[in-house]
């Protein structure tokens, strides 16, 4: 017997028929002898509908009242899943955020989970009851409803799994696992059996949108084993004991598994950045602070930063990337600071893409970056910027070359599946 927390997203909960399919998947887990808790999202589209109501009511809305409105979406699906499970003959009941309680900070609309009281949940599960928990919601210190910010249901699921010391947290999505790269770009992409938390964080933050980054960080911190798998599996499929998806686990567990360790785990791409170049910035202490302080104050996240080697006349070019949605605002801010910063011109390019190779294996292997640069150079792809971390190398290239670069690198690192269709 294991204790398993299952999480289903909005697409899986969109309407009575889909909820019935979810209920059958949950029922199969319980029938396999497991203790089961389920975390659910609102029906697809419902949160958007509720957010729009709030915007129409008051464009500068009070986040505490916003939370009262938007938390209702998960309240509805948790009640409906409990009802549907009961119709299948299972014992089931819903536990709202304020009932467990899921105690959060008072930061309405972007609250952080502090503690989850697991006593009621453990008693319910031990009695053979399936606990159904609305994701995304909690309760503040002053007893009001909070929400965790968009996509917070993944985080709710991991937090519940940590609270009940679950053996596994299964996140059902509309993909069947984490791939070496986007299968829509590379037909030979392979599903990964296991990735480490660190790899998943890099893959998620650079554009592989399978899990919310926050939920992966929390899983790493709490040591929760997470499986990503598809909710659109055949109804007659065996229980998820066969681990059909991708397991996200600690570095140690991957090391201990019999799967041969790849140097590189996956290739990610991200088209949501834009490049800014400031030319002829004075090469003196404090110059860089003049550039980035105003951007930080405006809440703009700067990602890659490259300062070219100083030229002999004491000036340098500074290149960096910002989210594409913040480009216009960033340009306006920098132009307003031209005198303080002392640059000559500010240039921008929104048609860029960031390509990243990710893998814990590169910690102990040299040559990963040079393989990347050579493979791209061989195909004439120009690198505009480079940044690296312990388990990642990212390059900025022309957006039009995204797909080509991903395919080239997937092959160069030996990730192509042997048996996949060409």
In the complex, what is the shortest distance from the CB of residue 56 to a copy of itself, in angstroms, rounded to a whole number? Answer: 4
Residue count, binding to a copy of itself (CB under 8 A): 40
In the complex, what is the shortest distance from the CB of residue 41 to a copy of itself, in angstroms, rounded to a whole number? Answer: 15
In the complex, what is the shortest distance from the CB of residue 81 to a copy of itself, in angstroms, rounded to a whole number? Answer: 8
How many whole angstroms separate alpha carbon 372 and alpha carbon 268?
Answer: 13
- Size (the chain), residues: 422
Of 17 and 390, the one with the shorter C-beta distance to a copy of itself is 17
Of 99 and 217, the one with the shorter C-beta distance to a copy of itself is 99
Q: Per CB under 8 A, does 53 bind a copy of itself? A: yes
- Which residues ranging from 139 to 168 are in contact with a copy of itself (CB under 8 A)? 143-145
3-state secondary structure of 359: coil
DSSP bridge partners of 4: 36, 168
Backbone angles phi, psi at 228, to 5 degrees: -100, 125
CA proximity to 119, closest of 168, 170, 171, 165? 165
In the complex, what is the shortest distance from the CB of residue 48 to a copy of itself, in angstroms, rounded to a whole number? Answer: 14
In the complex, what is the shortest distance from the CB of residue 34 to a copy of itself, in angstroms, rounded to a whole number? Answer: 22
Per the structure block, which two tokens stand in for 276? 């800014």
Site track 68-107 with a copy of itself (rule: CB under 8 A), x = hit: xx-xx--xx-xxxxxxx-xx-----xx-x-xx--------
CA proximity to 319, closest of 274, 278, 260? 278
> What is the chain's Cα-based Rg?
24
DSSP bridge partners of 36: 4
Of 70 and 353, the one with the shorter C-beta distance to a copy of itself is 70
Of 85 and 396, the one with the shorter C-beta distance to a copy of itself is 85
- Which residues ranging from 14 to 33 are in contact with a copy of itself (CB under 8 A)? 16, 19-20
Tokens 């388990």 map to which residue?
391
Tokens 């939370």 map to which residue?
67
Q: Could you tell me if 341 and 294 are in contact, meaning their C-beta atoms sit under 8 angstroms apart?
A: no
Q: How many CA atoms lie within 13 A of 421 on its CB side?
A: 2
How many whole angstroms separate alpha carbon 149 and alpha carbon 53?
Answer: 17
DSSP bridge partners of 385: 396
Of 82 and 295, the one with the shorter C-beta distance to a copy of itself is 82
Of 23 and 408, the one with the shorter C-beta distance to a copy of itself is 23
Q: Per CB under 8 A, does 119 bind a copy of itself? A: no
Q: Which residues bind a copy of itself (CB under 8 A)?
A: 16, 19-20, 50, 53-54, 56-62, 64-69, 71-72, 75-76, 78-84, 86-87, 93-94, 96, 98-99, 143-145
């Amino acid at each position: 017997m294991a204790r398993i927390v299952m999480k289903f997203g909005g697409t899986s909960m969109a309407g009575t028929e889909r909820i019935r399919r979810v209920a059958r998947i949950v029922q199969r887990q319980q029938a396999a002898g497991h203790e089961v808790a389920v975390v659910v999202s609102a029906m697809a589209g419902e949160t958007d509908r509720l957010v729009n109501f709030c915007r129409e009511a008051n464009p500068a809305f009070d986040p505490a009242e916003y939370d009262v409105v938007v938390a209702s979406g998960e309240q509805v699906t948790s009640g409906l899943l409990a009802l549907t499970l009961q119709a299948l003959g299972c014992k089931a009941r819903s536990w709202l955020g304020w009932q467990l309680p899921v105690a959060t900070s008072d930061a309405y609309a972007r609250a952080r989970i502090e503690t989850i009281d697991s006593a009621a949940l453990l008693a319910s599960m031990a009695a053979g009851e399936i606990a159904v928990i609305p994701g995304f919601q909690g309760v503040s210190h002053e007893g009001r409803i909070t929400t965790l910010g968009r996509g917070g249901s993944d985080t709710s699921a991991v937090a519940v799994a940590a609270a009940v010391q679950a053996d596994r947290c299964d996140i059902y999505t509309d993909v069947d696992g984490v791939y070496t790269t986007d299968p829509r770009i590379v037909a030979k992409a392979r599903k990964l059996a296991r990735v480490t938390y660190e790899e998943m964080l890099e893959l998620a933050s650079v554009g592989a949108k399978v899990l919310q980054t926050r939920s992966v960080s929390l899983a790493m911190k709490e040591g929760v084993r997470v499986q990503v798998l598809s909710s659109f599996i055949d109804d007659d499929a065996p229980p998820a004991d066969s681990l059909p998806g991708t397991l996200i686990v600690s570095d140690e567990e991957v090391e201990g598994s019999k799967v041969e360790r790849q140097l590189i785990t996956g290739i990610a791409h991200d088209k949501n950045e834009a490049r800014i170049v400031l030319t002829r910035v004075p090469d003196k202490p404090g110059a860089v602070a003049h550039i980035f302080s105003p951007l930080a104050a405006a809440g703009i996240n700067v990602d890659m930063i490259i300062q070219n080697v100083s030229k002999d006349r004491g000036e340098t070019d500074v290149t960096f990337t910002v989210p594409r949605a913040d480009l216009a605002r960033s340009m306006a801010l920098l132009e307003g600071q031209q005198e303080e910063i002392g640059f000559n011109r500010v240039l921008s390019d929104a048609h860029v893409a960031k390509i990243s190779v990710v893998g814990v294996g590169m910690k102990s292997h040299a040559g990963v970056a040079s393989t990347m640069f050579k493979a791209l150079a061989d195909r004439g792809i120009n690198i505009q910027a480079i940044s690296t971390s312990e388990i990642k190398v990212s390059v900025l290239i022309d957006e039009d070359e995204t797909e080509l670069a991903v395919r080239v690198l997937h092959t160069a690192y030996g990730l192509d599946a042997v048996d996949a269709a060409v």
